[in-house]
């Protein structure tokens, strides 16, 4: 059975790349635990330096609970702390544009 893979785009604001990277390099342990508990693993975010677009790719375990993650207080605190750096929805959740997989080589 192939893993459930999600990919999406987010958008940084100008002049915040270094700060965005720093905050992720110092990811809160409790946030990392919440991501793991939600069934997320092998999670990467890539930056297009020309457009400041972020491209995220993550894998989900079969018993994932990713839908519960937005209600976690640590997730909401993280979004609040990151809101100044990126485009967000009401409630400070980062704006996400889903990406459709068009090719996979294994």
Q: What is the pLDDT of residues 59-99, one digit of tens each?
A: 999 999 999 999 999 999 999 999 999 999 999 999 999 99
Residue 1 reports pLDDT greater than 70: no
pLDDT(2) > 80? no
* Ramachandran quadrant class, 92 (left: phi over 0; alpha: psi -120 to 50; beta: rest): left
* 49 assigned to some structural domain: yes
The CATH number for 74's domain is 3.30.70.100
Catalytic residue among 4, 5, 22, 24: 24
Q: Is 24 a catalytic residue?
A: yes
Range(s) of the domain holding residue 71: 4-98
Position 75 in a domain: yes
Does 88 fall in a domain? yes
Order across the sheet with 40-48: list the strands. 40-48, 53-60, 4-11, 97-98
Residue 92 lies in a domain: yes
Total structural domains in the chain?
1
Q: Tell me, rounded to whole angstroms, the distance of Cα 28 from its chain centroid.
A: 14
Asked, for residue 106, whether it belongs to a domain, the answer is no
pTM of the model: 0.92
Q: What is the mean pLDDT of residues 13-33?
A: 98
11 contacts 85 by C-beta, under 8 angstroms: no
Q: Tell me the pLDDT tens digit for each residue of 31-64.
A: 999 999 999 999 999 999 999 999 999 999 999 9
Residue 106's pLDDT is: 83
68 occurs within a structural domain: yes
């Amino acid at each position: 059975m192939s893993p459930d893979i999600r990919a999406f785009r987010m958008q940084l604001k100008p002049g915040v790349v270094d700060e965005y990277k720093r905050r992720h390099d110092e990811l809160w342990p409790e946030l990392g635990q919440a991501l793991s508990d939600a069934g997320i693993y092998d999670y990467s975010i890539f930056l297009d330096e020309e457009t400041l677009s972020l491209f995220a790719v993550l894998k989900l375990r079969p018993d994932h609970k990713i839908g519960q993650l937005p209600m976690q207080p640590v997730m909401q605190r993280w979004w609040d702390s990151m809101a100044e750096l990126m485009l967000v929805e009401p409630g400070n959740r980062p704006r996400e544009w889903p990406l459709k997989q068009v090719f996979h080589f294994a």
